[in-house]
Amino acid sequence: MAIEGLQEASDGTLVLAIARYHEEALAEAYRRHGGAVFALARRLLAEQSLAEEVVQEVFLRLWQQPDRFDPERGSLRSYLLAQSHGRAVDMLRSETSRRRREEREARETAEGGYDIEREVLDLAIGEHVKEVLDRLPSDERRAIELAYFGGLTYREVATRLDQPEGTVKSRIRSGLKRMRADLVDAGIGGVWTES
Amino acid sequence: MDRELTHAEAADLLGAYALDAVEVDERDAIEQHLNECPRCRAEVADHRTVASFLGSAGGRAPDGLWDRIAGSLEEAPPELKLAPVVPLKERRSVSLRVGAAAAAVAAGVIALLGAQVVHLNSEVDKMSTPERADTTLLRAATHALADPQAQRVSMRSPDGSRSAEAALLSDGTGFLVADDLPALSHDRTYQLWALANGQKISAGVLGANPRVVAFRYAPSGLSGFAVTNEHAGGVTETQNSPVVLGTLQRT
């Protein structure tokens, strides 16, 4: 590919160029998605240095293993965010981070500023996505928020909400299906294949 | 979780799995199921796309972070590659001048007058515009380029301004990425030549504007690839100088 065409390149073309060791292609992927990858990791880990570590790992992995991205299974953004989320959750669940988080939660609770629902409402996500999330039955929405933004397992969510594990598991799944249908209905269907 | 999940059990966990909200043993069991179940794989992809909208908070990454990533690329070459894996521009460059000593094998072969040419009846599958590319072909080419078992050839033009890359898998399937080559007029075509056993063997007529191409090349003894500019329809043997040329990277 002509390097000057990178800005218009599709996900698949971009990743193919990365497989050919075109650093400019990786830079373009970072330009498009680096901010979102960082923001998600930062949100989960609440510590900038750890979030930066996640971003580095995610893009280094794309450089080393570009073939792990399958354009038929979703956009590059979706892939990178899933990688960022997975790595951030791994860190979150590590012993050291768990201790740090407990300390942070204790501190924030003491200061009265920590409110995960408030944080979710403050997210700079698109209006459609906010609306779709808000339209979910509250039990489904709460389970998804705690799992995705809180980094909790569905078992931990069940304990937190004092609900049966099986119920939480099902609500996460049905909530995600409902959101997908709503997003498509809201005219965001085109983004499913967008870079 | 020591046993295999039933489809229903796995399906029940897919939402939580897609949000990284399962225990490690459950994750392993689900992934085992996903290897065998395209329907569940598709559902996970859908869930992850939804999740990516939740996670698309946007914003800017901190200043200087890209520089650190770019810096670490040189320190951490792709670990799966057995062939030299430095970035393309830094790779060992083959002779850029036909007949020059540094590329003796390939250059010598391509310059041989009257060399016997075997024209393979190659089935060439190409696409003209990568932006509207068949993702399957792109993905297959990406896989091939990342495959440590593939024979890989980086080709350069004599003046160094053009490049193309080929990867040949052990089953004889090859991929050529030639989107750096300028489009030709309609009465011309690019043609791919395998350099093997003292011969140049046609590995495919590529058309006037090849981008990513799949080809077949089964014979052994490959020492390099070259691309020439021929009249439309291709030729069974060529005296033309290669547009790009490269030798096989040894592992």
Q: Helix A76-93 crosses helix A23-45 at what angle (to 10 degrees)?
A: 40
User: What token pair was written down for A109?
Assistant: 């609770």
DSSP B159: T
Please give the tally of structural domains in chain B.
Answer: 2
Higher pLDDT: B135 or B164? It is B164
**Based on the number of CB atoms within 10 Å of its own CB, is B14 exposed (0-12), middle (13-18) or buried (19 or more)?**
buried
Residues A74 and A150 occupy one common structural domain? no
Residues B240 and B147 occupy one common structural domain? yes
Of A34, A79, A173, the CB nearest to B15: A173
**Could you tell me if residue B209 is inside a domain?**
yes
Alpha carbons within 13 angstroms on the beta-carbon side of residue B248 total 16
**Could you tell me if residue A45 is inside a domain?**
yes
Between CA A81 and CA B133 the distance in angstroms is 24
Quickly state the pLDDT bin for A161 (edges 50, 70, 90): very high
Please give the tally of structural domains in chain A.
Answer: 2
Contacts of A85 (CB under 8 A, 6+ apart): A40, A41, A44, A148, B19, B20, B51, B55
A9 vs chain B: nearest CA distance in angstroms? 6
Q: Mutation test of the interface with chain B: which of A173, A193, A195, choosing the one with the most B Cβ atoms within 10 A? A: A173
Task: Determine phi and psi for B84, rounding to 5 degrees.
Answer: -55, 135
Between CA B15 and CA B94 the distance in angstroms is 51
Residues B205 and B105 occupy one common structural domain? yes
Residues A48 and A23 occupy one common structural domain? yes
Q: Which of residues 133-192 of B touch A (CB under 8 A)?
A: 133, 135-136, 138-139, 141-143, 145-147, 165, 177, 179-180
pLDDT for the residue numbered A154: 96
**Could you tell me if residue B2 is inside a domain?**
no
Nearest alpha-carbon partner for A50 in A33, A35, A68, A38? A38
**Could you tell me if residue B128 is inside a domain?**
yes
DSSP A14: H
Are A126 and B53 a contacting pair at CB < 8 A? yes
B244 contacts B233 by C-beta, under 8 angstroms: no
Between CA B104 and CA A46 the distance in angstroms is 58
Judged by a CB distance cut-off of 8 A, whether residue B63 touches chain A is: no
Cβ atoms within 10 Å of A25's Cβ, excluding its own:
24
Are A55 and B65 a contacting pair at CB < 8 A? yes
Residue A116 belongs to what H/E stretch? helix A116-122
Are B130 and A170 a contacting pair at CB < 8 A? no
Higher pLDDT: B94 or A41? It is A41
* CATH number of the domain where residue A91 is located: 1.10.1740.10
Longest dimension (CA), chain A: 56
Last residue of a domain, one of A112, A147, A167: A112
Q: What is the ipTM for the molecules in this complex?
A: 0.81
Residues B24 and B107 occupy one common structural domain? no
Judged by a CB distance cut-off of 8 A, whether residue B61 touches chain A is: yes
Cβ atoms within 10 Å of A37's Cβ, excluding its own:
28
* CATH number of the domain where residue A152 is located: 1.10.10.10
B247 contacts B153 by C-beta, under 8 angstroms: yes
**Could you tell me if residue B138 is inside a domain?**
yes
Quickly state the pLDDT bin for B170 (edges 50, 70, 90): confident
Q: Is B165 helix (H, G, I), strand (E, B) or coil?
A: strand
Q: Give residue-wise pLDDT tens across range B35-87.
A: 999 999 999 999 998 998 887 666 778 889 999 999 888 654 444 333 333 33
Quickly state the pLDDT bin for A169 (edges 50, 70, 90): very high
- CB contacts of B31 in chain A (<8 Å) are none
**Could you tell me if residue A193 is inside a domain?**
no
Residues B161 and B240 occupy one common structural domain? yes
Are A48 and B62 a contacting pair at CB < 8 A? yes
Q: Give residue-wise pLDDT tens across range A75-120.
A: 898 999 999 999 999 998 886 666 666 666 655 554 444 344 434 4
Are A180 and B88 a contacting pair at CB < 8 A? no
Are B135 and A71 a contacting pair at CB < 8 A? yes
Whole domain around residue B140: which residue ranges? 88-247
Whole domain around residue A163: which residue ranges? 115-188
Task: Give CA angle at A35 (A31, A39), nearest 5°.
Answer: 165
Nearest alpha-carbon partner for B192 in B114, B97, B101, B124? B124
User: What token pair was written down for B97?
Assistant: 């001048």
Of B21, B66, B133, the CB nearest to A152: B21
Of A20, A77, A180, the CB nearest to B46: A180
